[in-house]
């Protein structure tokens, strides 16, 4: 019975109209009967499995790069070692709080902390930052969202005008208060970050407020 069914599939009793599907079925039938162009030839033309085992696969070494810690997270930069930190932060990590101003170490809009010291990210090549600990404005608040005292003082004193320079101003203030917990107005004016909106009096008040807050006094 099975033989009859198979035979009928191979050589249909009723003539069938030719078409793409029919050609496919006749081709299957030819392969089943092992006619010229059939199974044996088909198998011969098939790519053969390799007869010898492949050479031992040696895993690629881990890609080399520059390891940095940014806001407490580890990153490995595998691109151009000359890339300035400013563009690594903004374009690679999308940490856009660090602003592009002068590109010349003059304005301070790109200020970040590197191992706790104030630096200008536009002037730092990634090649010089291996194993450094970098903090940006995005890393100042605590993980639970509690703002840094300087950030809170900025809000309380409404120090922000257009805002473009302010992340750099805040980073510079954090650095100043780490060095001088009770800064004078002259110390504050010596920060040197530029503000085209002239928010300097507000910034001065905000830094004095943050200084008082970190010493347990309220203003
Ligand atoms: S952009 Fe870096 S100091 Fe101006
Ligand atoms: S607030 Fe506008 S540049 Fe400083």
Give the residue carrying structure tokens 């503000």: 195
Q: Is 39 domain-assigned?
A: no
Domain boundary among 94, 111, 139: 139
Answer yes or no: is 41 within a domain: no
pLDDT at 35: 64
- The residues, any chain, with a CB within 8 Å of residue 181's CB and separated by 6 or more, are 211, 214, 215
Q: Angle at which helices 2-10 and 20-33 pack, to 10 degrees?
A: 130
Look at the chain and report how many structural domains it folds into. 3
Q: Which domain holds residue 82?
A: 65-139
Does ligand 1 have an atom closer than 6 angstroms to the CB of 90? no
Residue 118, classed as helix, strand or coil, is strand
One domain for residues 116 and 180: no
Residues 150 and 132 both lie in one domain? no
Cα–Cα distances (Å) from 46 to 29, 38, 43, 177, in that order, read 18, 12, 5, 75
Predicted model pTM: 0.72
Quick one: pLDDT at residue 38?
64
The pLDDT of residue 213: 94
pLDDT recorded at residue 34: 64
Specify whether 159 is located in the same domain as 113.
no
pLDDT at 191: 95
Q: What pLDDT is attached to residue 216? A: 75
Judge whether 56 lies within some domain.
no
Among 124, 139, 154, give the residue marking a domain's end.
Answer: 139
State whether the beta carbon of 110 lies less than 6 angstroms from ligand 1: yes
Expressed in angstroms and rounded, the spacing between residue 180 Cα and the centre of ligand 1 is: 23
Residues 135 and 174 in one domain: no
- 87 in contact with ligand 1, CB cutoff 6 A: no
Low-confidence spans in the chain with pLDDT less than 50: none
Residue 199 sits in a domain whose CATH number is 1.10.150.120
For residue 132, what is the domain's CATH number? 3.10.20.30
Q: Give Dmax over CA atoms of the chain in angstroms.
A: 106
Q: For position 96, what pLDDT does the model report? A: 98
C-alpha 134 to ligand 1 mean position (Å): 17
- The strand ranges marked E within 16-157 are 66-70, 73-77, 111-114, 117-120, 133-135
Q: From CA 117, how far away is CA 113, in angstroms rounded?
A: 5
- Report the nearest atom of ligand 2 relative to the CA of 165: 4
Partners of 38 in beta bridges: none
Which of helix, strand or coil describes residue 185? Answer: helix
Please tell me whether residues 154 and 204 are part of one structural domain: yes
pLDDT for position 63:
72
The ligand 2 site (C-beta within 6 Å) comprises 160-166, 195-197, 199
Give the pLDDT of residue 7. 55
Choosing from 84, 110, 167 the residue with most ligand 1 atoms within 8 A of its CB, the one to mutate for a pocket test is: 110
Whether 49 is covered by a domain: the verdict is: no
pLDDT of residue 80: 95
What is the number of the ligand 1 atom nearest to the C-alpha of 106? 3
On average, the pLDDT of the chain sits at 87
Please report where in the chains the tokens 């009096």 appear, as a residue.
201
């Amino acid at each position: 019975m099975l033989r009859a069914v198979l035979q009928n599939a191979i050589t249909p009793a009723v003539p069938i109209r030719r078409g793409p599907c029919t050609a496919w079925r006749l081709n299957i039938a030819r392969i089943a009967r092992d006619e010229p162009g059939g199974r044996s030839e088909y198998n011969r033309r098939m790519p053969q499995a390799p007869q010898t085992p492949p050479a031992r696969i040696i895993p690629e070494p881990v890609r080399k790069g520059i390891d940095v810690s940014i806001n407490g997270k580890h990153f490995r930069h595998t691109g151009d070692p000359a890339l300035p930190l400013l563009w690594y932060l903004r374009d690679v990590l999308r940490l856009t709080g660090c602003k592009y101003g002068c590109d010349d170490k003059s304005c301070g809009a790109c200020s970040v902390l590197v191992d706790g010291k104030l630096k200008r990210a536009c002037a730092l090549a990634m090649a010089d930052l291996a194993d450094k600990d970098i903090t940006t404005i995005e890393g100042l608040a605590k993980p639970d969202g509690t703002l840094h005292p300087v950030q809170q003082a900025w809000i309380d004193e409404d120090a922000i005008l257009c805002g473009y320079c302010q992340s750099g101003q805040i980073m510079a203030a954090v650095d100043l208060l780490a060095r001088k917990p009770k800064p004078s107005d002259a110390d504050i004016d010596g920060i040197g970050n530029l503000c085209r909106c002239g928010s300097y009096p507000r910034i001065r008040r905000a830094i004095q407020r943050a200084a008082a807050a970190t010493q347990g006094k309220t203003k």
